[in-house]
A = this chain, B = another copy of it.
Amino acid sequence: MLDLRPVGYVIGLLVAALGLTMLAPLVSDLTTGNGHWPVFLEAATVTTLFGALTALACRNGVTEGLTIRQTFLLTSLVWIVLPVFGAVPFMLGATNLGFTDAFFESMSGLTTTGATVIGGLEALPEGLKLWRGILQWLGGIGIVVVAMVFLPELRVGGMQIFRSEAFDTMGKILPRATEISSRISVIYVALTLSCAVAYAGTGMNSFDAMVHAMTTVSTGGMANFDASFGAFGAGAHYVAVVFMILAALPFVRYVQLIGGHASPLLLDRQVRGFFVTIAIIVLTLSLFLADTVHGFTEVAFRESLFNVVSIMTGTGYSSADYMLWGPFAVTIFFFVGLIGGCAGSTACSIKIFRYQLLFASIRTQIKRIHSPHGVFTPRYDGRTVSDDILNSVMAFFVAFIVSLGLVTVALGLTGLDFITSVSGAVAALGNIGPGLGPEIGPAGNFNGLNDTAKWILSFAMFVGRLEVLSVMTILTWHFWRA
CB under 8 Å from chain B, chain A span 360-393:
361-362, 364-372, 387-388, 390-392
Q: Is the Cβ of B362 less than 8 Å from the Cβ of A330?
A: no
Q: Is the Cβ of A412 less than 8 Å from the Cβ of B370?
A: no
Contact with B along A269-309 (1 / 0, CB 8 A): 00000000000000000001000000000000000000000
Q: How far is the CA of A24 from the CA of B421 in the complex (A)?
A: 48
- Contacts A68-B370, A418-B419: A362 and B155 contacting too (C-beta < 8 A)? no
| CB closest residue in chain B, given A155 | B369
Among A328, A405, A422, find the residue whose CB has the most chain B CB atoms closer than 10 A. Answer: A328
The interface residues of chain B lying within 8 Å CB-to-CB of A255 are none
- Contacts A369-B156, A391-B390: A416 and B327 contacting too (C-beta < 8 A)? yes
The interface residues of chain B lying within 8 Å CB-to-CB of A408 are 331, 334-335
CB under 8 Å from chain B, chain A span 66-121:
68-69, 72
Distance from A291 Cβ to chain B, minimum over Cβ atoms (Å): 11
The interface residues of chain B lying within 8 Å CB-to-CB of A235 are none
Residue A43 is within 8 A (CB to CB) of chain B in the complex: no
Residue A324 is within 8 A (CB to CB) of chain B in the complex: no
Residue A60 is within 8 A (CB to CB) of chain B in the complex: no
* Number of identical protomers: 2
Q: Is the Cβ of B479 less than 8 Å from the Cβ of A370?
A: yes
The interface residues of chain B lying within 8 Å CB-to-CB of A399 are 362
Q: How far is the CA of A372 from the CA of B358 in the complex (A)?
A: 23
Residue A263 is within 8 A (CB to CB) of chain B in the complex: no
Distance from A414 Cβ to chain B, minimum over Cβ atoms (Å): 8
The interface residues of chain B lying within 8 Å CB-to-CB of A394 are 358, 361, 390-391, 394, 397-398
* Interface size class, chain A: 35 or more
Distance from A161 Cβ to chain B, minimum over Cβ atoms (Å): 14
Q: Is the Cβ of B412 less than 8 Å from the Cβ of A372?
A: no
Question: Which of B362, B417, B473 interacts with A398 by CB under 8 Å?
Answer: B362
CB under 8 Å from chain B, chain A span 432-482:
436, 469-470, 472-473, 476, 478-479, 482
Distance from A70 Cβ to chain B, minimum over Cβ atoms (Å): 11
Residue A123 is within 8 A (CB to CB) of chain B in the complex: no
Among A72, A332, A366, A478, find the residue whose CB has the most chain B CB atoms closer than 10 A. Answer: A366
Residue A257 is within 8 A (CB to CB) of chain B in the complex: no
The interface residues of chain B lying within 8 Å CB-to-CB of A358 are 394-395, 398
The interface residues of chain B lying within 8 Å CB-to-CB of A288 are 413
Q: How far is the CA of A421 from the CA of B409 in the complex (A)?
A: 19
| CB closest residue in chain B, given A437 | B418
The interface residues of chain B lying within 8 Å CB-to-CB of A338 are 405
Q: Is the Cβ of A413 less than 8 Å from the Cβ of B473?
A: no
Distance from A142 Cβ to chain B, minimum over Cβ atoms (Å): 20
- Contacts A155-B369, A478-B367: A362 and B395 contacting too (C-beta < 8 A)? yes
Q: Is the Cβ of A469 less than 8 Å from the Cβ of B331?
A: no
- Contacts A332-B412, A365-B391, A395-B362: A473 and B370 contacting too (C-beta < 8 A)? yes
Q: Is the Cβ of B365 less than 8 Å from the Cβ of A331?
A: no
Residue A415 is within 8 A (CB to CB) of chain B in the complex: yes
Q: How far is the CA of A397 from the CA of B361 in the complex (A)?
A: 12
Question: Which of B409, B411, B470 interacts with A335 by CB under 8 Å?
Answer: B409
CB under 8 Å from chain B, chain A span 310-348:
326-328, 330-332, 334-335, 338
Residue A204 is within 8 A (CB to CB) of chain B in the complex: no
Question: Which of B327, B387, B422, B472 interacts with A412 by CB under 8 Å?
Answer: B327
Residue A401 is within 8 A (CB to CB) of chain B in the complex: yes
- Sorted nearest first, the 6 A-B pairs with minimum C-beta distance are A331-B412, A365-B395, A394-B394, A327-B417, A328-B412, A387-B387
Chosen A-B contacts, 14 in total, with CB atoms closer than 8 Å, are A156-B369, A327-B421, A335-B409, A358-B398, A359-B398, A361-B394, A366-B395, A366-B478, A368-B388, A369-B469, A369-B470, A370-B478, A390-B394, A394-B398
Binding site for B on A (CB under 8 A): 68-69, 72, 154-156, 288, 326-328, 330-332, 334-335, 338, 358-359, 361-362, 364-372, 387-388, 390-392, 394-395, 397-399, 401, 405, 408-409, 411-413, 415-419, 421-422, 436, 469-470, 472-473, 476, 478-479, 482
